[in-house]
C-alpha cells in the first residue's frame, strides 16, 4: 500500500472541516514512527479543539529518545496508542516494556495488543501481570488461523475459552471476537456516529461495507474475469467497493450524510476490533475512550480507573 503524504494532509483538512467532534484511529500500513508525515498529522490532530482523541498502532521499534520527542510535541490528553507485541521477533522484551512504560508515564492512553494463540497462554498470563502492574490495558485478539488443520477461533476448547474470557479486557470483545456473536439485526452506530475512511479518501459507513458481497451473478462474473483478464477483475472489484461508498471526502462536492438514527447491522459477523465498539449497546454498557480500541464497563469506573490510571471516558458519549 503506497502512502501519499499530501493526500493524507488533505484528508485531515477535510476531517477538521466537518461540524463534529472527532475521535480518530489511524490504521497504519507500516511502522508509525518511521514516518514524520504520520507523526506530524497526529500531533496536529491532537491539538485541534474538535478532536477528543487520536490513536494509532505501532511496534515501538525505535529508540526511546524519538518516542519522547514525539510525546513532547503531541497533546497527551488527547493521545492514544496501541502497541503490538511481537514477542517472537523482539530480542529485548524488557526494553519493549520499558518503552511502553515511558508512554504510560507520560499520560497517553496506551494499550498492548497480543493474539490469543493456544500455545502462548503462559506468556499471556505473564504479560498481563506485567502490564497490570504498570497500569496498562492488555488487549487480546482472537487467533484467526489453523493449527493442525483445526480452524480458530472455532477450535478453542471450553477451557481455552474460559482462559481467554478471564484475560480479555472487556466481555464485549470476547463475545464478538471469540464466541463470534452475530451483530446481524442489532443496532449499530455505523453511518450514524461512526464512519470508515480508506487511504484514498473514500467514505464508508463501516469497514465491512468495503467488501459487501454483490449478488451471486456479480461474484461469478468477477471470478470468471480473474481467470481471463485480471485488469477486468480489478475493475469489477473497484466498482464493488465504490458501490457502498458515500463518496470521496477529497471531492469538493462531497457532503457527509449521517443517518438520523442507528442502523440495524446487515452482517452475520463483525470481527474488526476497532469496529465492534460501534455497536449501540456498547454506549449503554461501557465507556468509550480517546483510544478507539479501549472500552471499560459502566458501573465499575472506580475499579478500572484505579487500576488503569490513564483511563478516562469520552465526554458527551450518549448511550
| Spatial contact of 117 and 143, defined as CB atoms under 8 Å apart | yes
Q: Does residue 170 sit in the same domain as residue 130?
A: yes
Would you state the pLDDT for residue 84? 96
Share of the chain above pLDDT 70, in %: 90
Q: Does residue 241 sit in the same domain as residue 293?
A: no
Q: Does residue 260 sit in the same domain as residue 276?
A: no
Q: Does residue 164 sit in the same domain as residue 123?
A: yes
Q: What is the pLDDT of residues 6-39, one digit of tens each?
A: 999 999 999 999 999 999 999 988 899 999 999 9
Q: Where do we find the cell 502490564?
A: 131
Would you state the pLDDT for residue 29? 83
Q: Does residue 228 sit in the same domain as residue 179?
A: no
Q: Where do we find the cell 497517553?
A: 108
| Spatial contact of 188 and 280, defined as CB atoms under 8 Å apart | yes
Q: Does residue 175 sit in the same domain as residue 55?
A: yes
**Number of domains making up the chain:** 2
Q: Does residue 80 sit in the same domain as residue 42?
A: yes
Question: Three cell numbers at 292?
Answer: 478507539
Would you state the pLDDT for residue 149? 85
Q: What is the pLDDT of residues 265-295, one digit of tens each?
A: 999 999 888 899 999 999 999 999 999 999 9
Structural domain boundaries, residue 259: 196-264
Q: What is the pLDDT of residues 157-193, one digit of tens each?
A: 999 999 999 999 999 999 999 999 999 999 999 999 9
Q: Where do we find the cell 472500552?
A: 295
Question: Three cell numbers at 43?
Answer: 500531533
Least reliable range by pLDDT among 121-130, 144-153, 275-284: 144-153
Instruction: Compute the mean pLDDT over every residue in the chain, rounded to the nearest whole number.
Output: 91
Average pLDDT over residues 109-125: 96
Q: Is residue 269 part of a domain?
A: yes
Q: Is residue 154 part of a domain?
A: yes
Looking from the CA of 46 toward its CB, the CA atoms found within 13 Å total 26
pTM of structure = 0.89
Amino acid at each position: 500500500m503506497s502512502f501519499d503524504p499530501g493526500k493524507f494532509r488533505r484528508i485531515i483538512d477535510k476531517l477538521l472541516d466537518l461540524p463534529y467532534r472527532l475521535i480518530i484511529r489511524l490504521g497504519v500500513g507500516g511502522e508509525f514512527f518511521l514516518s514524520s508525515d504520520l507523526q506530524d498529522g497526529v500531533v496536529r490532530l491532537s491539538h485541534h479543539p474538535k478532536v477528543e482523541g487520536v490513536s494509532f498502532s505501532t511496534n515501538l521499534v525505535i529508540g526511546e529518545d524519538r518516542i519522547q520527542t514525539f510525546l513532547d510535541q503531541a497533546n497527551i490528553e488527547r493521545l492514544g496508542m496501541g502497541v503490538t507485541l511481537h514477542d517472537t521477533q523482539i530480542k529485548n522484551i524488557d526494553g519493549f516494556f520499558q518503552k511502553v512504560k515511558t508512554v504510560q508515564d507520560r499520560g497517553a492512553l496506551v494499550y498492548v495488543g497480543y493474539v490469543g494463540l493456544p500455545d502462548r497462554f503462559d506468556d499471556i498470563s505473564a504479560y498481563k501481570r506485567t502490564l497490570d502492574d504498570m497500569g496498562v490495558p492488555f488487549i487480546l485478539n482472537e487467533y484467526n488461523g489453523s493449527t493442525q488443520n483445526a480452524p480458530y477461533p472455532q477450535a478453542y476448547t471450553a477451557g481455552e475459552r474460559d482462559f481467554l474470557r478471564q484475560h480479555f479486557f472487556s466481555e464485549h470483545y470476547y463475545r464478538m471476537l471469540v464466541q463470534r456473536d452475530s451483530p446481524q439485526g442489532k443496532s449499530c452506530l455505523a453511518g450514524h456516529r461512526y464512519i470508515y475512511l480508506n487511504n484514498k479518501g473514500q467514505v464508508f459507513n463501516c469497514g465491512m461495507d468495503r467488501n459487501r458481497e454483490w449478488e451471486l451473478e456479480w461474484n461469478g462474473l468477477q471470478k470468471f474475469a480473474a481467470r481471463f483478464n485480471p485488469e477486468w477483475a480489478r475493475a469489477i472489484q473497484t466498482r464493488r467497493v465504490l458501490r457502498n461508498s458515500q463518496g470521496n471526502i477529497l471531492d469538493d462536492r462531497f457532503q457527509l450524510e449521517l443517518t438520523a438514527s442507528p442502523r440495524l447491522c446487515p452482517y452475520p459477523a463483525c470481527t474488526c476490533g476497532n469496529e465492534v465498539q460501534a455497536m449501540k449497546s456498547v454506549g449503554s454498557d461501557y465507556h468509550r475512550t480517546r483510544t478507539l480500541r479501549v472500552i471499560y464497563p459502566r458501573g465499575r469506573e472506580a475499579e478500572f480507573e484505579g487500576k488503569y490510571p490513564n483511563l478516562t471516558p469520552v465526554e458527551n458519549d450518549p448511550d
